Amino acid sequence: MLRAEKGFIVIGDETDGTVTPHDVAMSWAVSKKKPDYIGKRSLEQAFLVEPGRKQLVGLSTTDPNEVLPDGPQAVETVNGQKNTMIGHVTSSYWSPTLKRSIAMALIKNGSQRMGEKISFPLADKTVEAEIVDPVFYDKEGARQNV
């Protein structure tokens, strides 16, 4: 639970073969000093650097007691209709620390959509959530330096 509250990723949940370190706010892990390194050519592929890639974000449901399931598609409203798929939920939990549901998702242009509301159509209802920072708890890291 704490890993999600802190915005830490799990390989296989928040990542797959299409997600780069840049997509999950881990650009710091990619060398900027070495002229060459393992994986450099892959990270420079045109489709991996094009604008509009999905990026890791946090989700805060409008109803704090509504816990999204893992995996539903996120849609945005276009011309009054919720029909453009823009991403999906990667992890979702009830946070006893925060007393609310929290979720992480990969959303198209996610870092540029902070504060935007998006919808998740489920079988029996539609859940609305706000795009927020993926670090829900102790962003400064003060708790680890106690």
The 3-state DSSP class for residue 130 equals strand
Average pLDDT over residues 13-42: 85
**pLDDT the model gives residue 58:** 96
**What's the pTM?**
0.86
Are 95 and 105 in contact by the 8 Å Cβ rule? The answer is no
Q: What is the pLDDT of residues 4-20, one digit of tens each?
A: 898 888 888 888 888 88
Percent of the residues in the chain that have a pLDDT greater than 90, as a whole number: 48
**pLDDT the model gives residue 127:** 93
> Where do we find the tokens 């991403």?
87
**pLDDT the model gives residue 79:** 60
Are 105 and 24 in contact by the 8 Å Cβ rule? The answer is no
- Of residues 129 and 83, which shows the higher confidence score? 129
Going from N- to C-terminal start, the domains of the chain cover: 2-137
> Where do we find the tokens 């002229």?
35
Give the whole-angstrom CA distance, residue 112 versus residue 101. Answer: 22
Confidence of residue 87 (pLDDT cuts 50, 70, 90): very high
Buried (b) or exposed (e) across 20-50, using 16+ Cβ within 10 A? beebbbeeeeeeeeeeeeeeeeeeeeeeeee
**pLDDT the model gives residue 3:** 84
2-137 CATH: 3.30.1360.120
Nearest CA among 19, 21, 16 for reference residue 37:
21
